[in-house]
Amino acid sequence: MAREQRNDNKRDDKEGSDLIDKLVSINRVAKVVKGGRRFGFAALVVVGDGKGRVGYGSGKAKEVSDAMRKALETAKKSMIRIPLREGRTLHHDVRGHFGAGKVMIRMAPAGTGIIAGGPMRAVFEALGVHDVVAKSVGTSNPHNMLKATFNALDEMRAPRAVAAKRGKKVGEIIERRDGVRPEDKKEE
């Protein structure tokens, strides 16, 4: 059994090597003690595989490198899968919020690029989204913006999953490019 566990760890290392990690913020914190101040660091990191999986984590330590390592480990554990449309954008527009942070994320046509700022840009780059428009309203706190973005991404549903849940075909749910749904056209 010990050999099997070692092999699993090697597989995890191989899977971890192709992950994209982005440092969102690093914060120096101070603890006041009798002799003065003791400094530490808090890191916020986003990790993704560029193919629809993304996670975030935070870590605190006396050194920057240790804080980043802890944040990376936490981010890898919290990864979620997000369905992507054509491997480049989202399936539909979503909104998310956390605390005073609110985000609006919209799908975009090919060639638009990532129009987002701060922590949201890091999430989309790690996720593998190439075309998206995002807006944050409210707080600019990186922690709240990340949590609001992940709240919005949790709402993302693929048309195939929605169709299966409703017991319909995908074509009955998706609007065509001219804005007319197939069942609306039959009635005319």
**CATH (domain of 17):** 3.30.160.20
- List per-residue pLDDT tens for the chain, 188 residues long: 343 333 333 334 445 568 889 999 999 999 999 999 999 999 999 999 988 899 999 999 999 999 999 999 999 999 999 988 888 888 889 999 999 999 999 988 888 899 998 899 999 999 989 999 999 999 889 999 999 999 999 988 887 888 888 888 877 777 655 555 555 555 55
Domain boundary among 54, 80, 106: 80
Same domain, 88 and 165: yes
Name the pTM for this structure.
0.79
Domain boundary among 80, 110, 145: 80
Q: How many domains are contained in the chain?
A: 2
Contacts of 39 (CB under 8 A, 6+ apart): 28, 29, 30, 31, 62
Same domain, 68 and 103: no
> For residue 74, what are the domain limits?
2-80
Same domain, 49 and 19: yes
